[in-house]
Structure 1
Amino acid sequence: MAKMLYSATMSVDGYITGPGGDMSWLTEHIGPNPLVDRLIRDIGALLVGNRTFGGDDPHRGTDKEGKPFGGGWEGPQFVLTHLAPATPVPGVTFVGDLMEGVAAAKAAAGDKYVNILGAEVARQCVEAGVLDEILVFVAPVLLGDGVRLFEHAGGARVRLERLSLTETPAATTIWLRVVR
């Protein structure tokens, strides 16, 4: 059975995008990382927020632009949105309901991970009790503004258990399990 994994690179002050959704800050922090290489092999499907799907790309202006993990991964993508485009996008299914998207992505992933991309979808998965793990790459930078890794109006306490902690020149990596 597929597990639901939220992965993101985050600044030390907790942001996964800069102001206005800017992802250019991430470009200098993308580099060889054996953990990312292993993770990509273990992803069976993506569950992506619409803002992330149509947003900025740290690979902007390169041949890697618009490709998940800069072209390092290919497979089924499920984008959570209430406004699907009129023109189909190859390999992408647009879904209007979180649980419908979770079920479809899990079915497509088989026994691999469904990788969640986007803070809003991750928050919804936490609230629905379907998020299993979180993988955070902490980049050595302060952004001061942007989209936070996790934000819940009024606060929310989500218990986590650390599975691993590793370091590379580009980031400190924390892999966590959601405690239910």
Structure 2
Amino acid sequence: MAKLLYSVSMSLDGFIAGPKGDMSWLTGHLGPNPEIDALIGDIGALLVGNRTFGGDDPHRGDAEKEGKAFGGGWDGPQFVLTHNPPAEPVPGVTFVSDLDSAVAQAKAAAGERYVNVLGADVARQCLDAGVLDEILTIIVPVLLGDGVRLFDRPGGDNVRLERIHLGEVPHATNLWLRVVR
């Protein structure tokens, strides 16, 4: 059965996007990451938040990578959690209005591979619902000072995590964790 993995790049002060979802901060920090390159082949489907789906792109201006998952390194079924689907269908994208259905559809599409969660709010919803299995945070050596937090859960409960792997590349540190249930 597929596992839900939240993979995300984060500044050292805990932000995954700048103010209003600005992802331009990440552009100067993108570089080779063999662990991420290996992970891409293990992803069977994406579960994406609507703001992430229609939001800012660190590859903006790069015609070959802009608007493509993992800068064009991955292709497959995407499930976007939203209450406001677009009027026109988007090839390869299924718009789903509730978390349970989105998770079930994404897991079915992924088979034995990962469902990769993209978007802070969807990741928080998955964590709160007890369906998030793993978190891979690529910690980038920069301080943003403001923006979208990795997990913003005021009043939330304590969630125990167990380290699976810690890896380093010249421009980042990969911290892979399992959600302990």
TM-score (norm 2): 0.98
Distance 2:2 2:108 in 1: 8
Moved over 2 A (4+): none
Distance 1:132 1:155 in 2: 18
For residue 134 of structure 1, report the CA deviation from its aligned partner.
0.2
Gaps of 5+ in 2: none
Residues 1-180 of structure 1: matches in 2 within 5 Å?
1-63=1-63, 64-180=65-181
Cα deviation, residue 155, structure 1:
3.5
Distance 2:101 2:131 in 1: 12
Structure 2 counterpart of 1:153, one-letter code: P
TM-superposed deviation, 1:25 = 0.6
* Separation (CA, whole Å) in 1 of partners of 2:79 and 2:137: 21
Aligned-partner SS, 2:90: coil
Please provide the CA RMSD for this pair: 0.6
Distance 2:6 2:75 in 1: 17
Unaligned runs of 5+ in 1: none
Q: After superposition, what is the alpha-carbon deviation per residue over 1:5-29, rounded to whole angstroms, capped at 9, x for unaligned?
A: 0000000000000111110010111
Q: Distance in 2 between matches of 1:175 and 1:57?
A: 23
**Distance (whole Å) between structure 2 residues aligned to residue 106 and residue 141 of structure 1:** 34
Deviation at 1:156, TM superposition (A): 2.7
| C-alpha distance in structure 1 between counterparts of 2:89 and 2:156, whole Å | 38
Distance 2:91 2:29 in 1: 29
Alignment partner of 1:29: what SS? coil
- Opposite residue 39 of structure 2, the aligned amino acid is L
